[in-house]
Amino acid sequence: MRVRHLSDNAEEILSSVVKSMQDGKGRDIVSLNMKKIHTAVTDYFVICHGTSKTQVDAIADKILENVKKECGASAYNKEGFENSEWILIDYVDVVVHVFLDSTRSFYQLEDLWADAESLTYDDSDGK
C-alpha cells in the first residue's frame, strides 16, 4: 500500500520533469509507468542521462527548479549531487534518475523494471 505524501499531481510533475530533461539536453529520456506493478513504491520512474558530470548536475538542477515553479512541488528526497554520476530526485509519486551515460549503461535500470509500461521521449521536443 502506497502512502501519498504530496497532492495527486504525478502526471503534472512527470510532464515538467520530461520537459526539463529535454531543455537540459538529456539523452534517451524514458518514463516507466509503475502503477500496475503492485510491489512498486512509486507511480513513475523517469530516466535520462548526460554525457558529463556537469551536464548531469545541470539537468537535475533544472528539474528541481522547474517542478517547484510549475507544480509547486519540492523533492521529498534527493541524492547523488556529490559525484553527479547518478542523481535521484524523489517526488514520492515520481522518482527521477539522471545518470552519467556510463553509469546508466552499467546499472541498466530499465531492464530491472522491464515489466513496466515504457514511454520514450524525443530528446528535443516531446514524444
DSSP string, 23-82: HTT-EEEEEEE-TT-TT-SSSEEEEEEESSHHHHHHHHHHHHHHHHHHH----SEEE-TT
Is residue 28 in a domain? yes
Within a domain: residue 15?
Answer: yes
CATH number of the domain that 27 lies in?
3.30.460.10
Is the model's pTM score more than 0.85? Answer: yes
Summarize pLDDT for 61-109 with one digit per residue, the tens. Answer: 999 999 999 999 999 999 999 999 999 999 999 999 999 999 999 999 9
89 inside domain: yes
State the residue range of the domain holding 54: 10-121
pLDDT for the residue numbered 124: 58
- Does a structural domain hold residue 3? no
Q: Is residue 2 part of a domain?
A: no
Q: Looking at residue 5, what is its pLDDT?
A: 44
Question: Residue 67 in contact with residue 42, Cβ under 8 Å?
Answer: no
User: What tens digit of pLDDT does each residue of 3-56 get?
Assistant: 444 446 999 999 999 999 999 999 999 999 999 998 889 999 999 999 999 999
Q: Report the domain count for the chain.
A: 1
